[in-house]
Structure 1
């Protein structure tokens, strides 16, 4: 999945490039991320993400593949595995900083590959909502006065009910 993002930053391009090149400073700006150490040119750490009802914790490495201060370009590679063994993720990220009338234009292009259980939740978990379609405000329309249909049964009727309950319990632990 390719993700393209742009953001205008009210600061000079060289300052923005210096900041995004500093992994120790950037990780403090990312909710759920932590840096555990460094091994040569690779930074080791972890990140926790939530997609729908599922939370996944990944540990892995981030490595700078290319740093070009003259063009203000960074190319990074990140790889991580779910700490519970439920999958893994890889990303190659290209960041560029350009001059803009309001300061700097930061462009981020991410080639992301996620494998495992978390993929089944959400259609496109990392894509932002279109303008005006997402809201954190409470619902403004009054609740419907129409009767609700009956809830579907959670287990089949009859003597298999006990085995169904055991099966569901085992699947929840997995």
Structure 2
């Protein structure tokens, strides 16, 4: 029986040594400064938009929406309650709306329903071939393009606008200097209008 007691003492002695070794390995380093924990920064507080306001050089206002201007790398502050197309000059946007008036096969006006809701926007095709659709009044469309300031003479030359002589003056009078969307294509968003 004494051999069995020696075996139990030997096992419990080995177990005790293993526990002591574990404490040395795991507990002692915890008592010292942990470089991983020291490298963690303080948590950021405030609204996630705050850095955009600071980068734009403006005081942070919680009721404003701050968006990154991808074309210039700057941040633009836009009033959350009133998005204006002019706030997006030089940026790519997607707009949806119903065609209100067709000026030519590559130029028409929509009444925006999503972004810029309620705004009348001129949509200009960047290609002389037009939009890939035949625009018709009442047609619901979606277009993605760059917001630009309208200049009839520059646009007529640059985009080969196919405008009738009697349409030029009303278009220029209505949109000169206004923000318009220049796009490669437009798509019909209601199956009823697809031929």
What TM-score range do you get, normalising by the shorter chain? under 0.3
* Richer in helix (by share): 2
* Structure with bigger gyration radius: 2
Please give the TM-score of this superposition, normalised by the length of structure 2: 0.20
| Structure showing the higher strand proportion among its residues | 1
Higher relative contact order (CA 8 A, sep 6+): 1
Q: Give the structure-1-normalised TM-score.
A: 0.21
